[in-house]
């Protein structure tokens, strides 16, 4: 007896002993018992597929009825095992038609990167779990996800690409010590972002990396040598380089306060409040 037959049997208004008899009754009761708890903890899969027409990554994607999008390692013999294909735009992603259904993302350990455009415009996305096997986040991978309010970037990631988190709902971000470079527009227009911690290895923040983050008032940089800043990496004024609000606070190692002040008014020296961590 399959699940549909069992469902019809259970939901019918006709008494069970009038619908089946003899051995059929015994079979139905046995099936009901076996299936009583079979769905507990299980998720209904609504879509799945590979990452391209000629996949070399050995990856599988699945979308479940509760909105969870899961990336798993399916073929360990694939020549590019674990390496996510990049796409030329959002529409070329195999799951493009399901973007609005995605509310959470779980990426299995062993996946090496997140491809560009992967989850752009997933407007209902609220959480992402990235394993510490991932070393790079592709361009626009999570851009324009307004309900994504938090992200943990693992310390396996070494660079954050162009526009990767642009116009998300992030409130605070910690850039791990493993990251050396933050691309241009990476966090642009994250207007709910209030605080950022830059790890000790961040040496460069691209142009408009955090431009338009109008709520960003608390920045910590753990690097003793001030990272280079693109023309308007910070602030909200196009014509004034890094024009941060007067009340914004920059926290740096005590031994580096002078170095940050001496970068000048077009860089970290724009901050009125530079204090020791």
pLDDT tens for 58-82 read: 789 999 999 999 999 887 666 566 7
Q: Name the more confident of 24 and 89.
A: 89
pLDDT above 50 (res 11)? no
What is the C-alpha separation between 194 and 248, in angstroms, rounded?
Answer: 10
**Burial label, 153 (beta-carbon count in 10 A; 0-12, 13-18, 19+):** buried
pLDDT bucket at 119, cuts 50 / 70 / 90: very high
What is the C-alpha separation between 224 and 242, in angstroms, rounded?
Answer: 20
Q: How many CB atoms lie within 10 A of CB 181?
A: 18
Q: Which of 49-53, 221-225, 251-255 has the lowest mean pLDDT?
A: 49-53
Give, as one character, the DSSP assignment of residue 109: B
Residue-level pLDDT at 275: 97
Give, as one character, the DSSP assignment of residue 226: P
Kindly state the average pLDDT of the residues 186-204. Answer: 97
């Amino acid at each position: 007896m399959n699940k549909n037959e069992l469902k019809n049997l259970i939901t019918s208004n006709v008494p069970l002993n009038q619908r089946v008899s003899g051995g059929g009754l015994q079979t139905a009761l046995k099936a009901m018992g076996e299936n009583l708890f079979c769905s507990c903890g299980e998720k209904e899969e609504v879509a799945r597929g590979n990452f391209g027409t000629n996949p070399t990554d050995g990856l599988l994607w699945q979308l479940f009825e509760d909105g969870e999008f899961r990336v798993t390692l399916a073929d360990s013999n694939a020549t590019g095992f674990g390496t996510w294909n990049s796409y030329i735009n959002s529409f070329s992603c195999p799951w493009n038609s399901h973007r609005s259904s995605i509310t959470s993302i779980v990426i299995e350990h062993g996946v090496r990167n997140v491809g560009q455009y992967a989850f752009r415009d997933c407007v209902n996305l609220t959480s992402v779990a990235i394993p510490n096997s991932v070393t790079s986040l592709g361009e626009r991978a999570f851009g324009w996800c307004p309900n994504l309010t938090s992200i943990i970037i693992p310390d396996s990631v070494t660079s954050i690409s162009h526009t990767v988190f642009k116009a998300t709902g992030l409130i605070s971000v910690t850039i791990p010590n493993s990251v050396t470079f933050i691309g241009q527009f990476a966090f642009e227009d994250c207007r709910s972002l209030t605080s950022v911690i830059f790890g000790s290895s961040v040496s460069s923040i691209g142009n408009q990396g955090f431009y338009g983050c109008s709520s960003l008032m608390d920045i910590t940089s753990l690097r003793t040598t001030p990272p280079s800043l693109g023309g308007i990496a910070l602030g909200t004024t196009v014509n004034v380089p890094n024009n941060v609000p007067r009340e914004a606070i920059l926290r740096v190692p005590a031994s580096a306060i002078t170095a940050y002040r001496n970068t000048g008014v077009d860089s970290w020296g724009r901050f009125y409040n530079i204090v020791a961590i």
